[in-house]
Amino acid sequence: MEDYLIKSIINDGMFRAYVINGTNLVQEAQKRHDTWSAATAALGRSLVGTTMLAASLLKGEEKMTVRINGGGPVGGIVVDGNANGTVKGYLQHPHVSLPLNKRHHIDVGKAVGNQGTLSVTKDMGLKDPFTGKVGLTSGEIGDDFTYYLAQSEQIPSSVGVSVFVNPDETVEVAGGFMIQVMPGASDEAINRLQTTLTHLPQVSDLLRQGKTPEDILKLIFSNDKVKILDKMPVSFVCDCSKDRFAKAMASLPSKEIKTMIQDDHGAEVSCRFCGNKYQYSETDLKAILLKAKN
């Protein structure tokens, strides 16, 4: 099944709803970072959540960076997203697997921890990016995105994100929903939605049954007026390149670049977001040294 996100409006503006199948993008992240089950679920949920958050808050060429660090064994998680449906991300410790929790699910809350923060930095093309930060409520990721939207964006919301990891560490499915309550929503409609979400299976269970994002939207808003505004492809894409890293290396002290040339006779740089490696010969480094500013 293809990866995509749908944007919709419910009951002429009572709710905004986003539903995503992000299976392929989480599979790509798992392969690139060689993550184990708990780390896969934590990174996968963060990628899915960031994709929906970016789709709901950004436009044009705007970008955002989500950072999550709860003090758990996976360490810090960093995800970059944009308005066009592409994300990239990594975590500090990919080789984390834990016993299942009481509900027999991957214990993402324990893997991430809840003694820390979730921050969102939005680059709107202005001089200074804006950063909003909240304390983690559970480390389960969905709850934490929900809390961020309520506290930093003043948008009452419900966010559900889930990843199903197979025994061989591969990702079977990944997806999620984000529902935002608009000012015109009636108490009756809100109460009905809360009841529905309480009984809704995990999105990963629905995707495993072959449900599409449109099917999941109908399950949530079965008797409501649903208008789909957009269907957007989503994917894991890293924009790193040898040239971009060369520009970054040119900002290093000249002394460091000279050491690479004289002692190491070259350099290798690895991208944290995707794992791609770039080799720089002595000739490459001499060219970078000419551009160094110090």
Least confident stretch, 125-129, 172-176, 237-241, 256-260: 125-129
Residue 99 has pLDDT above 80, yes or no: yes
Beta pairing class for 226-233 and 63-69: unpaired
Cα dihedral sign, 161-178-63-211: positive
pTM: 0.94
pLDDT of residue 223: 85
Least confident stretch, 125-134, 185-194, 232-241: 125-134
pLDDT confidence band for 41 (50 / 70 / 90): very high
pLDDT confidence band for 40 (50 / 70 / 90): very high
The residues, any chain, with a CB within 8 Å of residue 219's CB and separated by 6 or more, are 196, 200, 206, 211
SS (H, E, C) the chain: CCCEEEEEEECCCCEEEEEEECHHHHHHHHHHHCCCHHHHHHHHHHHHHHHHHHHHHCCCCCEEEEEEECCCCCCCEEEEEECCCEEEEEECCCCCCCCCCCCCCCCHHHHHCCCCEEEEEEECCCCCCEEEEEECCCCCCHHHHHHHHHHHCCCCEEEEEEEEECCCCCEEEEEEEEEEECCCCCHHHHHHHHHHHHHCCCHHHHHHCCCCHHHHHHHHCCCCCEEEEEEEECEECCCCCHHHHHHHHCCCCHHHHHHHHHHHCEEEEECCCCCCEEEEEHHHHHHHHHHCCC
pLDDT confidence band for 125 (50 / 70 / 90): confident
Beta pairing class for 4-10 and 226-233: antiparallel
Question: Taking residues 152-171, what's their average pLDDT?
Answer: 97
Long-range contacts of 54-57 (CB under 8 A, 24+ apart): 54/81, 54/82, 54/83, 54/87, 55/5, 55/7, 55/18, 55/83, 55/85, 55/232, 56/7, 56/16, 56/18, 56/178, 56/180, 57/122, 57/153
pLDDT of residue 294: 63
Cα dist from 57 to 53, 117, 132, whole Å: 6, 20, 13
How many percent of the chain have pLDDT more than 70? 99
- CA-nearest of 187, 175, 222 to 10 is 222
pLDDT of residue 127: 78
Distance, CA of 190 to chain centre: 27
